[in-house]
Structure 1
Amino acid sequence: MQSQTTEVQNEIRNLPPSLLISASYDNQKKSAVLKFYEPTSQKIILWSDEIGHKPYCFSKLNPEELDFLQERDDVLKIEPVKRLDLLRDEEVTLSKITTADPLAIGGTQSDKSIRNLIETWESDIKYYENYLYDRSLIIGKFYEIVDGKIQPHDVEIPDDVKLALKSLLWDKLQNDSMVDTKQFEEYITEWANLLNQPIPIMKRLSFDIEVEVEIGRIPDPKIAEKKVTAIGFNGTDELKQIFVLRDPNIEEGKNDLDVDVKIRFFDDEREMIEAAFKLIQEFPFVVTYNGDDFDMPYLYNRAERLGIKNSDNPLYMMRDSATLKHGVHIDLYRTLSNRSFQIYAFSNKYTDFSLNSVSKALLGEEKIDYGVDLDKLTMYQLANYCFNDARLTYRLTSFNNDILMKLLVVISRIGRMPIDDIARMGVSQWIRSLLYYEHRQRGALIPKREELERRSSGVVNDAVIKDKKYRGGLVVEPIEGIHFDVTVMDFASLYPSIIKVRNISYETVRCPHEECKKNTIPDTNHWACTKKNGMTALVIGSLRDLRVNYYKSLSKQENLTEDQRQQYTVVSQALKVILNASYGVMGAEIFPLYFLPAAEATTAIGRYIILQTIKRCEETGIKVLYGDTDSLFIKNPTREQIQKVIERAKKEHGVELEVDKEYRYVVLSSRKKNYLGVTKSGKVDVKGLTGKKSHTPPFIRTLFYELLEILSKVKSIEEFNKAKSQISSKIAEYGKKVEAKEIPLNELAFNVMISKAPSEYVKTVPQHIRAAKLLESIREIKKGDIISYVKILNKPGVKPVELARQDEVDSKKYMEFLESTLDQITSSMGLDFDTILGKPKQTGLDQFFWN
């Protein structure tokens, strides 16, 4: 429960249009608190519930059977209410139990929580989320307060943008497959009106702290016994400041700060922290990097230790995160380590989540390295080091015209969730929140996980994927060898398209209507509803159509302002993040609305579409070389053949097929999901690509890229055979160096980021943590640090680069890693590692053969 005690500004009777940005719960007032960002004054206004809303849950027992709860002081009333049961498609009567406090419903292990006493529904939703859903309040939307009442405020959308939406509704949706087309059009219109609302500039401040270092000990934010030595700030309006605590034992050094950075020295730590708090209070948004775990709790507890009054402290601590009493805190470490942002928003540009790695990948900038430990820095060097960390943190929110802040606002609008929750939680929580909101809009009861499990029991087919209860996407056997002029055809958003076109949702697959059983799903014993639009089909389908048919083309229109163009690009990107993850979420057992037959139906239809498309390709005279889930590799097709297959896929299955890549050549091995392709521009794609991962030792990465360079130049089979010979020679050359221990230690290093402090690893201790523990004797190790280690012959099997010697390197282990990393290249080319190294060839390996 995100709960805090705040001064709430309900004396304000009127508020100009402001962005609803977050929500929390006030423990003392026992009410929801909304946080509005007013873009003109650039302040956050706190608004306490004015309608007397209270926490509640549902029971299927009647009020008389719940009499024993009436005796409790924290139970306010029990009354019968009607809700729609989507699983049975009927209205049901429930008992609504209203309480004075969310903890009366859940959140404790004792009998105080009603959900521990009886079976309840909707008792595991955070209270402030409940509040937002019930009042149809959407985070990221503009509202105004008029005479003490909250009212939606929609900013007028330009005419040409409205026109583009109309053309989508009329041109693209006429023959749509939705059961209720009108309802689908309404959803699309509502989404477009919401997502086209402007996004104001967010006034914000980043900060970073440095703490006194003691060799071999990590500063504990809970105890906060070491002095804060520096606090760096970077904010909107070009605010650049650094506070430094003077120390007579540390040399002042030379001022190499940029001229626009204002430095302020303090003789008293308490005075410095109080000045920092005053500055933080001026900003509605505060941004940190790993601030939830370190900077915020350390500063909060250090302030308490120094006797600073809580009323002067703007920070507020929660169980596993930190926020501001009057603002919003965004921890970018939590945001950027979210795989949905990493993969879909930022195209996997970074592979570990340290501030340095992310900044290097997204900004082309790095942390400052003076080549000495922090305790050896002069005061000005410390100032520069600390300010630069704050600057990089701020830049991660401001680069590319504030794209990250805008993405967070747009995803808040879609996920119906506070921006600080969006920034910390994974995509499954966003989609859960969106679907819970939809249930409330329909007056529908949110089903329990156990109900969905019972309904899917005994009705699904056999799975063939390890650790999964249903079959996944189809992988077509590859035709081995080298193939020139290969086109890759890709189904745009295949699973979201299937969910929409075939009406897939937990309540529509195996619906209770007898007449729908004829609408069977291929390769399963399931059917889909023909009477009503499924909730998931409506939500995911409307978002999918908006992205594919509206925002993608809208962002390319020439008559847009730069701000409009960027907003539509951001919206398209946010939709991509959610759509790409949507099926994975709904097909994951941990998702609260996971329904096995719906997951199985989606992949079964996917397999059917791929097989049918392969058949159409063959009928059109196209040779299919390989297929993987949502893409087909086809040999040298004509434009007319491609167009014919695209049209058939749209007509027969309602899905969009498009050209994804054109390869000069592709090498396919007998293994599925293992191929190597070179595009016409010379870019080499290797499926899997361990060689590019950041933890791979630099010498292997160097070799990997040298091999890719050789492959990129191949234009014929003769050149390919020469390339095989060159690649064999290169690998042999590196292999000899490894065995002779001639490769420098820093080139042998595995570089792995630690995601928690070494002391937190108890049962299983990974290799990089073993190395980190050896390092603790010479320097401080904290979460987010990169540990560089080499593999050695003696126990514990690894050593930090700083402590290792060349003669103790375990060459055999490096040869094994070299072989497994390069296997993606060598196996697809039919090269045998042992033969390359001049060792006897192992039997049983398939010979490479040509077409």
Structure 2
Amino acid sequence: MGNMGSMKSAPFRGWLFDIYPRGGDMVLWFITPEGVPLRVAVAFPMPVYLAGATSVEVERCADRLHQAGEVELVGWTERNDLWTGKPMRVFAMRVLHVETWKQRTLPAIARKFPDLSWFNADLLPAQVWFYENNAFPLAQCAGVIADGRLTEFKILDDVWDRDYPMPPLRQVHLEGRGFLDAKNPRIESLSLTHDGRTYQWRSADGILGGFQRAMDDIDPDVVVTQHGDGFLLPLLLTCAARRDTVLRLDRDPAPGGRKVRTEGRSFFSYGRILFQEPDCELFGRWHLDGGNSFMVSHTGFHGMIEAARVGRYPVQRGSRRSIGTGITSVQLAEAWRRGVLVPWKKAQPEVWKPVPMLLKTDRGGLVYAPRPGIYENVVELDFAAMYPSIMTNFNVSPETINCPCCAHPRRSVPEIGYRICDRPGLVSEALRPVIERRLAFKALRKRAEVEGDEEARQSFDHRQNALKWMLVCSFGYLGYRNARFGRIEAHEAVSAFAREILLRVKDLCLDHGWSVLHGNVDCVWILKPQWERGEIDDLIGKINTATGLTIVLEGIYKWLAFLPSRQVADRPVPTRYYGAFVDGKTKFRGIECRRGDSPAFIATVQEELLTELAAAPTADEYRRRVLAMRSRMEEYEGMLRRCEVPLEQLMITTMLSREPAEYRGNSASALAARQSIKAGLEYHAGQPIRYILTDKANTDPNRRVRLMQLIDPETTADPDAYITLLRRAMNCLLWPSGHQLDETPTKAKPKAKPRETMKQLTLWDAAYSEAV
């Protein structure tokens, strides 16, 4: 950027912390090495491109936007078309008002000129700024500021650096209690924790003033909450507005003041109804909501930062979006680097297929179902990032499948015969550095573990975990029709490669004397009567050579139990098993301690017993030990019968599959949802709802369950209902022994009076704020 000349200027160094558009500028916040926040602005007219059948129509549209003061004209230029790989003639413009462009200006002008095609027109302005300047969140920067504007700027590190330093950030943790009711909102208590010290306020009048003084004194860079987006911050802002008080949450207040949003949205994804709370991002500081962020809750702070850096998107936005946002942004950055146009509206429909071809192509991964039973000395081999590796190794990308430029390419897709272009694919090349980076972080994690550096081990683990989730969703987005770089034929090609590879693995295992006990898409469980460790290493080397991918030893089991279906006794369930590795660690899938709808008490009991059983050296010893635990199981049943288990440990959490008013049956979830309507609580499809089973067999449906918010000191749980759930969990562990408990217990005696301690049940927790 050019020097501003005679204006007073000052150099600076720091980390690029926050970014957002404001007017015609992009506002940047930096954190200096001393922890001082700096606000600067830089002009940013955002580039967009327009194409059409005739240049006259394109120029007429561009002139209209220019006359309205919406864009500055650049002129005709060439950019690359994704599907053909050839240059395409387009008209370039730069948007002057990026804040209103996507929501207002672009849809309006598209309606007036429906036959024209827009490119790069709906991208997030902050991400475009990152792409144009080869920048990323928390990049180390140096530059010059003159009168609050950025005049010189350069990046001092690289986005692919692995051991990058973090800026000194001041964090506060905010918790509160109250009711976000449209007619009578009230906040009852608030606490703010910073640097080991906690500030608490309990009077409505003192909360707002005390909180604002603490924020002004501390001036935090990061505000961490649980459900701050949909509950706590809107509640604070609403209560402040009721008292004609301005609550300054932002470092850089928005023009016209902050608008309070309390309504989220329900949406359908991968067969599930999900709910997203409204965003409450701050300007000049971060608000991280652990209850509204997959990345924060699953990968921690370091994982969230890693995903934002690699994805080149603002930290706050990325923390609130789906995991697909990150990998899509990686692909967008690669498109920008190549000069590839990104269409506003995708027009790449699925190719018509005859029925025989559809039956051949529309298939998923391969599964060898295991025979139910308990086995010893089982070896599990797992491909490292199998599907993303297929994309990179075999050049699978939307534009490379059946491309128009290669009549006789070097590669084709096994079984279905699709042609694969020889030119490097956009998606495959975008994924390559992410895969390599994750492998590097896993190696760094292992080194830190050997050196006993727990802080570094955890940091590298969170970072590789964030990249794992980005890679996991890359395959799904490849087949998602609304994804920017999605195409179902590419998705089918990856599945076909995966099936072929697993067949090769099976053949290699059999050739070397191993039996394939179970195979599930990207991993196999194998065994044979006698073997030595060197044989496993030899097999792994041969598989890697034959497939071109990397398979690794996941572990060696002392014993491993594959469970049958609960409905059909001899039917295998590929994803329902548990076992103990030779190092004493356990692995379990599909049982109660892994299910989100299991009461905490049931899940904890099952996991505790399974952890103890992991010490059994053989399958026979497992059977002996699990039968010896029958008395322990009876003790847990006695605790339920005597109402000794706190109600918090018996809460059942389920996701609402529809709006509460739409339920018609009398399932436990439906009954709890209807109770929420009567109580005036606001729930939506996709939100979790928590309740207690109080009398499951009662002829009055309303007495069968009790919504969490309606629990009072006299509420008791139904012992029979929870004993049934407990026995079901215990039967998973007992099954290899050949013994099973009757899941329908003898009718319990009248319920005992709740213990005095149970009257202290605290209704306020993270789930309560979800409901409110």
TM category, shorter:
0.7 to 0.9
Alignment partner, residue 629 of structure 1: 521
For 1:32, the equivalent position in structure 2 comes to 26
For 1:422, what is the secondary structure of its paired residue?
helix
Once the two structures are TM-superposed, the CA of residue 32 in structure 1 deviates from its matched residue by 2.4
Map 1:560-709; keep pairs closer than 5 Å.
Answer: 568=460, 570-636=462-528, 637-668=531-562, 669=564, 670-673=571-574, 674-693=576-595, 695-697=597-599, 700-701=602-603, 704-705=606-607, 708=610
Q: In 2, are the aligned partners of 1:732 and 1:837 still within 8 Å (CA)?
A: no
Are the equivalent residues in 1 in contact too, given 2:229–2:289 (CA < 8 A)?
yes
- C-alpha displacement of 1:413: 0.9
Q: 1:509 corresponds to which residue? A: 401
The 3-state SS of whatever aligns with 1:446 is coil
Which residue number in structure 2 is paired with residue 279 of structure 1? 217
CA deviation after TM superposition for structure 1 residue 606, in Å: 1.6
On the 8 A contact 1:547/1:572 being kept in 2, the answer is: yes
Give the Cα separation in 2 of the matches to 1:230 and 1:725.
50
How much has 1:422 moved relative to structure 2?
1.8
Residues 1:437 and 2:333 aligned together: yes
Match of 1:95 among 91, 94, 99: 91
Residue 705 of structure 2 aligns with which residue? 798
**Structure 2 spans left out of the alignment, 5+ residues:** 1-5, 262-277, 565-570, 747-772
**Residue 327, structure 1, aligned to residue 285, structure 2:** yes
Task: Summarize the alignment of residues 107-506 of structure 1 with structure 2, pairs less than 5 Å apart.
Answer: 107-108=103-104, 112-114=108-110, 117-118=113-114, 119-146=117-144, 148-154=150-156, 192-193=160-161, 195-211=162-178, 218-220=179-181, 225-226=185-186, 228-236=187-195, 238-245=196-203, 271-272=209-210, 274-276=212-214, 278-279=216-217, 282-309=219-246, 316-317=258-259, 320-335=278-293, 338=294, 342=297, 345=299, 404-447=300-343, 450-454=346-350, 461-462=357-358, 470-506=362-398
Residue aligned with 2:18, SS? strand
**Kept in 1: contact 2:626–2:733 (CA 8 A):** no
Structure 1 residue 646 displacement after superposition = 1.2
Which segment drifts farther, 543-552 or 498-507? 543-552
The answer to whether the 8 A contact 2:342-2:484 is kept is no
Structure 1 residue matching 2:238: 3-state secondary structure: helix
In 1, Cα distance between equivalents of 2:142 and 2:388: 35
Give the direction of change, closer, same or farther, for the CA distance of 1:103–1:245 in structure 2 (3 Å limit): closer
1:568 shift after superposition: 4.9
Given that residues 76 and 92 in structure 2 are in contact (C-alpha distance below 8 angstroms), is that contact kept between their aligned partners in structure 1? yes
Q: Read off the aligned partner of 1:219 and give its amino acid letter.
A: L
* 2-structure distance, mates of 1:565, 1:743: 42
TM-fit CA distance, 1:14 = 3.5
Q: Is the 8 A contact 2:663 2:670 kept in 1?
A: no
Aligned partners of 1:287 and 1:330 also within 8 Å: yes
How is 1:15-26 mapped onto 2 (pairs within 5 angstroms)?
15-26=11-22
Report what 2:438 is aligned to: 547
2:756 alignment counterpart: none
Change (3 A) 1:662 1:271: closer
2:623, 2:97 → 1: CA distance?
74
Q: Which has the higher strand share?
A: 2
Alpha-carbon distance, 1:85 to partner? 0.7
Structure 1 contact 245–272 (Cα < 8 Å) conserved = no
SS at match of 1:451: coil
- What per-residue deviation string (whole Å, max 9, x for no partner) do you get for residues 332-355 of structure 1? 2222xx1x5555x3xxxxxxxxxx
Map of 1:773-788 to 2, 5 A cutoff?
774=675, 787-788=691-692
Deviation at residue 773 of structure 1 after TM alignment: 6.6
Q: Over residues 67-112 of structure 1, what are the superposed CA-to-partner deviations in whole Å (9 max), with x where a residue is unaligned?
A: 2563351443553231101211111112335444347643149963
Q: How far apart, CA to CA, are the structure 2 residues paired with 1:772 and 1:93?
A: 56
Identify the residue that residue 48 of structure 2 maps to in structure 1: 56
Partner of 1:763: 662
Cα distance in structure 2, aligned partners of 1:727 and 1:790: 28
Residues 391-449 of structure 1: CA distance to partner in whole angstroms, max 9, x if unpaired?
Answer: xxxxxxxxxxxxx3333322211010001112211210111122112211111112466
Amino acid at match of 2:279: S
Q: Does the Cα contact within 8 Å between 2:661 and 2:674 map onto a contact in 1?
A: no
> AA paired with 2:21?
Y
Match of residue 359 from structure 1 = none
Correspondence 1:76 to 2:35: no
- Check conservation: 2:580, 2:586, Cα contact below 8 A: yes
Partner of 2:755: none
Whole-Å separation in 1 of the counterparts to 2:442 and 2:618:
41
Distance 1:568 1:229, change over 3 A: closer
Residue 39 of structure 2 aligns with an amino acid whose one-letter code is L
Cα RMSD (Å): 4.4
For the Cα contact (< 8 Å) 1:790–1:800, is it kept in 2?
no
Q: Counterpart amino acid of 1:59?
A: A
- Are the counterparts in 1 of residues 290 and 296 from structure 2 also a CA contact under 8 Å? no
Contact 2:26/2:41 (8 A) holds in 1? yes
Asked if 1 retains the 8 angstrom alpha-carbon contact of 2:127 and 2:313, the reply is yes
Aligned residue for 2:134, secondary structure, equals: coil
1:321 deviates by 2.0
Compared CA separation, residues 831 and 18, structure 1 to 2 (3 A): same
What is the letter of the counterpart of residue 122 of structure 1? Answer: N
User: Is the contact made by 1:105 and 1:114 (CA closer than 8 Å) also made in structure 2?
Assistant: no
- Change in 2 beyond 3 A, CA 1:594/1:463: farther
The share of aligned pairs that are identical, in percent, is 18
SS at structure 2 position matched to 1:207: strand
Residue 726 and residue 471 in structure 1: after superposition, are their counterparts in 2 closer, same or farther (change >3 A)? Answer: farther
Distance 1:231 1:724 in 2: 48
User: C-alpha distance in 2, partners of 1:269/1:808?
Assistant: 37
SS at match of 1:675: strand
The Cα shift of 1:612 comes to 0.6
The answer to whether the aligner puts 1:533 opposite 2:389 as a matched pair is: no
Q: Are the equivalent residues in 2 in contact too, given 1:83–1:444 (CA < 8 A)?
A: yes
Q: Secondary structure at the match of 1:414?
A: helix
User: How far, CA to CA, are the matches of 1:816 and 1:471 in structure 2?
Assistant: 38
Structure 1 window deviating more from structure 2 (598-607 vs 826-835): it is 826-835
Q: Structure 1: which 5+ residue stretches go unaligned?
A: 1-9, 156-189, 212-217, 247-266, 346-403, 839-851
Distance 1:513 1:15 in 2: 51
1:572 deviation in Å? 3.4
Change (3 A) 1:306 1:101: same
How far did residue 769 of structure 1 move? 7.3
Q: 1:563 to 1:733 in 2, by over 3 A?
A: closer
Q: Distance in 2 between matches of 1:602 and 1:778?
A: 50
Q: How far did 1:688 drift?
A: 0.4
Q: Which amino acid aligns with 1:798?
A: V
Letter in 1 for 2:172: L
Amino acid paired to 2:282: L
